[in-house]
Structure 1
Amino acid sequence: MKIRLKISLCLLASSALTITGCSKDGDVGAIGPQGPQGEQGIQGIEGEQGIKGDPGNANVKHYDIIVSNTDWSANLHFGASNEYRYYTVPADSTGGIELYNFYNEGNIVLAYAKPNYASDSGRGTAINITKLLPYIGMVSTSTEKFGLLIEQQANTNRLLLAKTINGYEPDRIPDEDVPTTIDFRIVLIESSNAVSEIAGKASLLNNLKSSGVDVSNYNAVMNHFGLE
């Protein structure tokens, strides 16, 4: 009997120690209150400024076309005494875009030309640079000089070629005076405004002018849109 009592007392004492030890650690899973926020750290050194990006040209496309002397039509009358040869720009040369439709939707079509004569043709342009159409340049031969006129016909997809008389009036150009090749670059600038044809073109041109860009300056336009 005494032995059983001693064993019971020992077990009871052991249980009391276990309960007392657990109560010191608090309830399992309980979350204590949030501590105070720490002080803000010192601000880091400001990073270097990034490189300035190129002017946006998402709405600008350009296409290069080479027209040889055999690609032009025969001399034709275009009203009164005006005579031209013409070349129709196919839509597949301008990304499937019909120049006439693009122009009539209030967008801008800028066409630049650089005529080239073969070295054995006996002809050379006095201003051998790329210029905005209408292009007027002087061509010299061993016996004469004549004006060369290259235009864009806004109401068609045509480029026009002629000699000039009296400074500008277009006249027929014989085969031997047609440039061996003419390098054309056609720049299409799409208007982002839903405005009329005239207002759209005026807005685009005014934006370029306010940015200091002269559209008659080929290099200025190419540099502005990053097209070189």
Structure 2
Amino acid sequence: MPGLLAGKSALVTGAASGIGRATALLFAREGARVTLSDLPGEALESAAAAVADAGGEAQAVAADVTREDEVATLVERAVARFGRLDCAFNNAGVAPRSVGAAGQRIGEMSRDSWDALLAINLTGVWLCMKHELAAMERQGGGAIVNTASIGGLVGLPRSNAYVVSKHAVIGLTRSAAIDYAEAGIRVNAVCPGYVETPMIGESMARRGEQILGTVPMHRLGRPEEIAEAVAWLCSDRAGFVTGAAQVVDGGYTAV
């Protein structure tokens, strides 16, 4: 039986680890040819090699999503290698601690931390969408999924810029879904809860029991579980789904 994404060309940012890597691997298993992107480094090359070792066709293209010239080149290379761009998963993002804002209230954050987080989590998504949408419109359609978060649906303590960025990603997703519906392009977001990735390791070490106490299923999600939602949203089986914020959170936002 053909895979969900058989014959499609897909792009994944933030593909070196966690949800991005798991999604790139699943895309390949479901029949897609995959362009993996992240910052330069061994982790990106390793992820692309893992896709190839699993029988998928892949290329690694290093890019900083905050730099428009690099994003433009990334999309151009995806199209040049595979002929078109059918699916894009804009997953690159950072947590507050990555920009020196861990555990800070809004009045305690520096301007540099605020600007750095929004540049990656929001402006980076917009830049990717800008160039992906242009490529998809030229070819007559496609599907985009952006990584938001439960932090895009509710407030989280001492995570101000992160929450702002993820709420904005959902707004950007919904607006783009309306703007590009007639062009045959679907735009959705996925909203993971607490997932077992390197991003949450430090938080789990400090307050793991507290975090799990907020999740009705009493466990962390697995990257592969988020990947399944993304693959479905990118597939033709989700042909009437656009502008959605798909929650995959073990029941966190249901409480």
Q: Is TM (by shorter chain) over 0.5?
A: no
Q: TM-score, normalised by structure 2?
A: 0.25
Q: Which has the larger radius of gyration?
A: 1
Q: Which has the higher helix share?
A: 2
Q: Which has the higher strand share?
A: 1
Identify the structure with bigger relative contact order (alpha carbons < 8 Å, sequence gap 6+). Answer: 1
Q: TM-score, normalised by structure 1?
A: 0.27
